[in-house]
Amino acid sequence: MERGGMPTTTQLNLFDSDAALMVSKGVILLILIFYAVFALIVVRQVDLMSKTLITKISPYVKAAAIVHAGFAIGLIILAWGIL
């Protein structure tokens, strides 16, 4: 106890610790990896659909799915660099 005053206490801030920061980074990267896997599954499903149901718009849908998968993978790379 300090002389002539109240005892000092320190607050434990869980969001300030390095462990919480590393866990949150890992969770963010894990979510982005799941998103990229989902995007790759969408590419596969669109490919199967375009082989089954041939229309004039099929190449555009396939291109959009590939761009979406590229965006998802690029987002992982970007987050890895930032985090």
> Quick check: is 16 in a domain?
no
12: Cα separation from own chain's centroid:
29
Question: Residue 60 belongs to what domain range?
Answer: 31-82
> Quick check: is 40 in a domain?
yes
> Quick check: is 3 in a domain?
no
Geometric angle at alpha carbon 31, from 28 and 37, rounded to 5°: 140
> Quick check: is 8 in a domain?
no
> Quick check: is 65 in a domain?
yes
Please count the structural domains in the chain.
Answer: 1
> Quick check: is 69 in a domain?
yes
Tens digit of each residue's pLDDT, the chain (83 residues):
556 566 676 666 666 788 888 999 999 999 999 999 999 999 999 999 999 999 999 999 999 999 999 999 999 999 999 98
CB-facing half-sphere around the CA of 56: CA atoms within 13 A: 0
> Quick check: is 1 in a domain?
no
CA–CA distance, 43 with 27 (Å, rounded to integer): 25
pTM to 2 decimal places: 0.74
